[in-house]
Structure 1
Amino acid sequence: MTAVASLRARARREGAAFVAVDTDGWVRGWGALEYKIDLARGVNADAVVVVGDPELYSFLQKSLESSVYYVRSPSVQAVRRVEDRRRLRSENYIRFLEGGEREVSLKSVKIQGACIGGAPFEDERLKSSIESQLGSPVKLMTRYPGGVCIVVDAERQVEPHEIKGAARKIAGGEVIVVSRGSMKGVLAALVDEEGVEHPALLLDVDLDSMKARFKTRFQGEVKKVIFGRVKLGEEYYEEIRGRILV
């Protein structure tokens, strides 16, 4: 939602007299309705158009200050199978990401969407507790308001139930454990001096130097790295959508 609002604001700054936002088809359930309402408010929509769903139209009419309009669904609609949609997304990822690689020092840029951007700290008791529980060396410990982020040099993803109560008590707050391997394949954006976001795919992180290697076409100066909520697997197919720990 924030990204859509940002794009809308940028389009207006650059002179667009009219901005249309085509949303996704997630319209069932309270979570979907909250998201659609928040999106309409976030972009300060003058009008909302509902296609082919009278129930949704009625609900939004009662919920939004924007003008809400209803139009019938087209008589002929192109229907794609789930696998076809996945394949098309994969092809688009290839189109935007293939073409080069580069290294970025995470120590010298701003970081968003990653707990590894917190303030480094040392706690030998906590470090020993995590290493004994997971059997993997702790490479980095950072603190953020209300908790700590611990990065271990392991290929597999660490599950929440593996971090026992002792570690939580030692930290005096929540404990997030991230493995180097689970970071691989996370979509990101490399932000340049003008605030333009360039798509990138995290390939690996050197936990000693904190240098990250990305697949990306962008080779200019990086001011900020934004880690997203999509992780890609083989052939650029989406493996995870949602909260990803980096």
Structure 2
Amino acid sequence: MMSNLFSVFDPTSSIFSMSLNWLSTFLGILFIPMLYWAMPSRWSLLWSITTTLHGEFKTLLGSTHLGSTIMFVSLFSLIVFNNFLGLLPYIFTSTSHLVMTLALALPLWLAFMMFGWFNHTQHMFAHLVPQGTPGALMPFMVLIETISNVIRPGTLAVRLAANMIAGHLLLTLLGNTGPSLSSTLISLLIISQILLLILEAAVAVIQSYVFAVLSTLYASEVV
């Protein structure tokens, strides 16, 4: 019996007191065959979604930063691989920890802010006051916009981690009730677990897409 419900997310694998759980972040690379990197190839068609994402991110960013779409497509690929690997038994879900999600969101946000304030200072000041704001409300709007801008990396990180934790906790809670159920209820439990796994697979893709798109939108505001 678990002493703590959240103990299912604790890192446990270690060698010489060094945690090995975070190596699960790189497991997604092992699932990609070598022929994938030979472009074009039949294997590349399995991941043709990157072409669609490239076109969408290019539309959001415009023609000012053409190479930036590669970074956001890579970000989406990294998160979606980790989300899917977390659905497999005995594999550590790194995206359910704020250490991982903040490590992705915070450097991106800092880079956007530094680039915007150093190169487009007037444009960044203009973003603090929406067009048509009455003069009496301008100080309050500057404060509100500043706060909303500062909490962006936190909201990105918490949104991804919370969504991954919620589904895993629900699966764990339902799974722990199995030994005390009758055979009829166990069959219903298995069906509900399968449906939840399908839902979690959809959440894994959606949250990866949301993280990548919001990062792209934040980058488009500083140019």
Q: State the TM-score, normalized to the length of structure 2.
A: 0.21
Structure with the bigger percentage of strand? 1
Greater RCO, CA 8 A, separation 6+: 2
Higher helix content, 1 or 2:
2
TM-score (norm: length of structure 1): 0.20
